[in-house]
Chain A
Amino acid sequence: MKYIDEYRDERIARALVADLARRVTRPWLLMEICGGQTHTLMRYGIDELIPPQITLVHGPGCPVCVTPLEAIDKAIQIASRPEVIFVSYGDMLRVPGSRSDLVQARAAGGDVRVVYSPLEALKIARAHPERQVVFFGIGFETTAPANAMAVLHAQRQGLRNFSMLVSHVLVPPAIRLLLSSPQNRVQGFIAPGHVCTVMGYREYEALSREFHVPIVVGGFEPVDLLEAISLLVAQLEEGRAETENQYARSVTREGNLQAQAIMERVFEVCDRKWRGIGLIPRSGLRLRPEFAAHDAEKVFQLEELTAEEPAECLSAQVLQGLKKPTDCPAFGRRCTPAMPLGAPMVSAEGACAAYYLYRRQAVAP
């Protein structure tokens, strides 16, 4: 496919690796934020191809992984109601809540359906005017405009039986939290290319300045990631700390202004709890009060719940780049994609799932 195959070219990749080997003189620790990038790195063995001085740790950029237990418990409460059709992106179904998951809610009689786009949830709502259709609105800035559009379409079409359970999260506040931690070891970040396609990268320039940290907006193919790593190492070796844009074919400094305007119209910034990390101020989006009729939290009377993660799961440290998935004693033994203890083992983008898929042999049985 055009604009994909070229960025998987082995000759270019080898040239970038050779260039990196010439450039690097010291150990550097880098983090890719986005779980999609984690998967490319593992799938193509980029972590093993690059010079050994460069260590990659994996960030919290997996929406399924950071959606708080309480949101999943709320989803299960709603999905268990007889009048509800609960609609979600597929990855969320097997994420453990505090007591069960959405698959179990479905097995117990809940009408839980998987879609690929929020517009399919609108279609279901139109087809079933006698039922309440609730869409699980999760994701980062990449997904927020599409979910916001679905709410606007519902409003325009007068769909009174459509609502959204919103648990959106924002990337820059999470990077700020990681950089503010005394435990932080990360010296450079690959910023998520599709989040920046929507938002641009001015927020990241501010982080580079404030924390004197290099950030490179990166794409998702192997050549993109190798080039992003190369740009980061060049900055670190030269003592620079700027935000650069490797993924210029999709990302501009200002981002997609139309998408930002739609997000702004439908959502407002709020504090949000991240699974495994805790409360991060101003790191989430919720529906504005004028969309209360489409806000599942307002439409349904929900019990307020607080829940704790199983103590055995290391996902908190994995999501903050403090540990690798293979450092966890449960990895590949008591925790597998079929029987996950924590969310990063469930999602196709979770770091634990990526290691399980591509690096299982690295762990002695």
Chain B
Amino acid sequence: MCLAVPGKVLEVEERDGSRVARVEFGGITRLVQLDLVPEARVGDYVITHVGFAISRLDAEEADRTLRILKAMGLLESEERGAP
């Protein structure tokens, strides 16, 4: 029920008095309401739930966390002698 997925904002337009975006989710494009995330811009990733963006993904934070996790993963593989 609280399923929400990240997708990339391709286009933003005004429709019936509210901002909507065309958002790409792994090759599929859907219209997403931006009422709750008015600051979203083209190129941003938004996390979308029941047709509404609920957050703008913090790319810097995501990259930072992934770098730490990847370093940990690589270290572990080396210790185990894996490729």
Partner-B contacts on A (CB < 8 A) = 1-4, 6, 9, 11-16, 18-19, 34-36, 61-64, 89, 91, 116-120, 138-140, 142-143, 145-146, 149, 153, 156-157, 192, 194-195, 197-198, 220, 223, 227, 248-251, 256, 258-259, 262, 347, 349
Contacts and interface: CB of A to CB of B under 8 A. Distances in A.
Contact of A248 (B1, B51, B58): B58
A169 B76 CA distance: 42
15 contacts: A1-B26, A3-B45, A4-B6, A9-B73, A14-B73, A36-B1, A117-B50, A138-B1, A142-B54, A143-B49, A146-B50, A153-B16, A194-B54, A197-B4, A198-B54
Contacts of B58: 248-250
Contacts of A16: 69, 72
Contacts of B47: 194, 197, 250
B38 A15 contact: no
Contacts of A249: 57-59, 61-62, 65
B33 A149 contact: yes
Nearest to A19: B72
Interface in B35-76: 35-38, 45, 47, 49-52, 54-55, 57-59, 61-62, 65-66, 69-70, 72-76
A174 to B, nearest CB: 14
A contact patch SS = helix
A143 B1 contact: yes
Given A194-B4, A194-B49, A256-B54, 14 more contacts: A6-B66, A9-B73, A15-B73, A64-B1, A116-B51, A117-B50, A119-B33, A139-B2, A143-B1, A146-B50, A220-B3, A248-B58, A250-B47, A256-B36
B contact patch SS = mixed
A36 B3 contact: yes
Contacts of A62: 1
B54 A197 contact: yes
A260 to B, nearest CB: 10
Nearest to B35: A149
Contact of B57 (A1, A3, A36, A198): A3
Given A4-B5, A197-B55, A349-B1, A11 B33 contact: no
B81 interface: no
Contact of B1 (A63, A157, A256): A63
Contacts of B76: 11, 14-15, 18-19
Nearest to B32: A117
Contacts of B5: 1, 4
B73 A89 contact: no
Contacts of B77: 11, 14-15
A146 B51 contact: yes
A301 to B, nearest CB: 29
Contacts of A89: 1, 50
B75 to A, nearest CB: 7
B59 to A, nearest CB: 8
